């Protein structure tokens, strides 16, 4: 059931992402190049290095170490848009970053996962994501997004009407997927929960912090930094779970993403209160965004 249900669940989530995207969201990247390049550098370079350091520091078992690296390589989740809206981030930037990150992840996620597998050697008879498996990642990530964008292009009213139901379904699906991952790996999880809880909390906090501090150091506007923080700090845990379970065929690999998927909601919510934009909303309507 998991090999069928999990890809369908992720497909619904990625379809929901596509329903909220247009080609203009990709084009908007050109209008905020500094913010986008900074976010992508943090997401694609800094975070995997940070995660690798944490994995070595905590001396995780090889299979859990690879699971953490897969999580670090996963793009931002759609939940980032919700948090950005709640704490007055630049939602348009969030949407653009999610769009671009989802495309880039088709390449970076298999690469980082393969490097982690080669280094930590969690399997005796498996080399990692080969070409055919990389094509599966492409199909899982991009095809539902493309379908959602086509629906929005030709049936915009239907897309708008489906936005809320799909978002609700995404949250429900995420909870069910995580519950299933926990239940099927209870022994391994209970043995390593303390380590996984601490390392995922640290990774989430560091990711959120990097996503906010680095843009601010580079004189990028506060609203853009808030958007970047959530985009970098909130990973698509469901994607990591599905790749682990259905593509690599390892339920143990999904445990870091499952623990992270539960804890990150509370961490991101608390972090949002620390960085939220306290400027009155009417000022935003008058002042242009800093790019």
What is the SS3 string spanning 193-206? HHHHHHHHHHHHHH
What whole-number distance in Å separates Cα of residue 89 and Cα of residue 124?
45
47-56, 64-73, 273-282: segment of lowest average pLDDT = 273-282
Whether the predicted pLDDT of 237 surpasses 70:
yes
- In the chain, pLDDT over 90 holds for what percent of residues? 20
Q: Is residue 282 pLDDT above 50, yes or no? A: no
What is the reported pLDDT for 14?
73
User: For residues 214 and 231, what is the distance between their CA atoms, to the nearest angstrom?
Assistant: 13
CB-count burial class (<10 Å; 0-12, 13-18, 19+) for 90:
buried
CA 288 to CA 88: how far, in whole Å?
A: 15
Does the structure show a pLDDT above 70 at 95? yes
pLDDT at residue 83, rounded to an integer: 83
pLDDT at residue 128, as a whole number: 53
pLDDT greater than 60 at residue 27: yes
Q: What is the structure's pLDDT at 1? A: 47
Q: Would you say 91 and 85 are in contact if contact means Cβ atoms under 8 Å apart?
A: yes
Q: What is the DSSP string of 76-137?
A: B-THHHHHHHHTT--HHHHHHHHHHHHHHHHHHHHHHHHHHHHHH---SS-----HHHHHHH
* pLDDT in the model for residue 49: 95
What does the pLDDT look like over 182-212, one tens digit per residue?
Answer: 676 677 677 777 888 899 999 999 999 999 9
Q: Is the pLDDT of residue 283 over 50?
A: no
What's residue 56's pLDDT? 94
User: What is the value of pTM for the model shown?
Assistant: 0.76
Cβ neighbour number for residue 201 with a 10 Å cutoff: 16
pLDDT in tens, 76-87: 766 787 788 788
φ and ψ of 235, to 5 deg: -90, 160
Among the ranges given (147-161, 186-200, 202-216, 276-290), the one the predictor scored with the smallest mean pLDDT: 276-290
CA distances from 284 to 29, 76, 133, 281 (A): 20, 25, 45, 5
Total residues belonging to the chain: 291
Domains detected in the chain: 2-278 (1.20.1530.20)
């Amino acid at each position: 059931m998991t090999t069928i249900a999990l890809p369908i669940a992720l497909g619904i989530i990625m379809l929901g992402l596509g329903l909220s995207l247009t080609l203009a969201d990709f084009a908007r990247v050109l209008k905020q190049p500094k913010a986008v390049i900074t976010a992508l550098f943090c997401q694609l370079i800094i975070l995997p290095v940070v995660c690798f350091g944490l994995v070595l520091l905590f001396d995780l078992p090889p299979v859990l170490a690879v699971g953490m690296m897969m999580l670090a390589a996963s793009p931002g989740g759609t939940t980032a848009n919700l948090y950005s809206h709640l704490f007055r981030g630049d939602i348009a930037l969030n949407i653009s970053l999610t769009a671009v990150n989802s495309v880039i992840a088709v390449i970076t996620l298999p690469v980082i996962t393969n490097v982690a597998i080669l280094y930590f050697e969690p399997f005796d008879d498996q080399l990692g994501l080969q070409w055919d498996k990389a094509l599966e990642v492409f199909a899982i990530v991009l095809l539902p997004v493309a379908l959602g964008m086509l629906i929005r292009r030709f049936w915009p009213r239907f897309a708008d009407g489906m936005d809320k139901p799909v978002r609700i379904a995404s949250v429900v699906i995420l909870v069910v997927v995580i519950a299933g991952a926990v239940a099927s790996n209870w022994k391994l999880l209970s043995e390593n929960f303390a380590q996984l809880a601490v390392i995922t909390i640290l990774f989430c906090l560091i990711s959120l912090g990097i996503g906010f501090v680095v843009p601010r150091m580079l004189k990028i506007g506060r609203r853009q930094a808030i958007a970047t923080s959530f985009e970098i700090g909130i990973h698509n845990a469901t994607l990591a779970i599905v790749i682990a379970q259905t593509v690599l065929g390892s339920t143990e690999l999904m445990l870091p993403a499952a623990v992270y998927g539960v804890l990150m909601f509370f961490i991101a919510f608390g972090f949002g209160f620390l960085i939220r934009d306290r400027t009155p909303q009417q000022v935003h309507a008058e002042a242009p965004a800093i790019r």
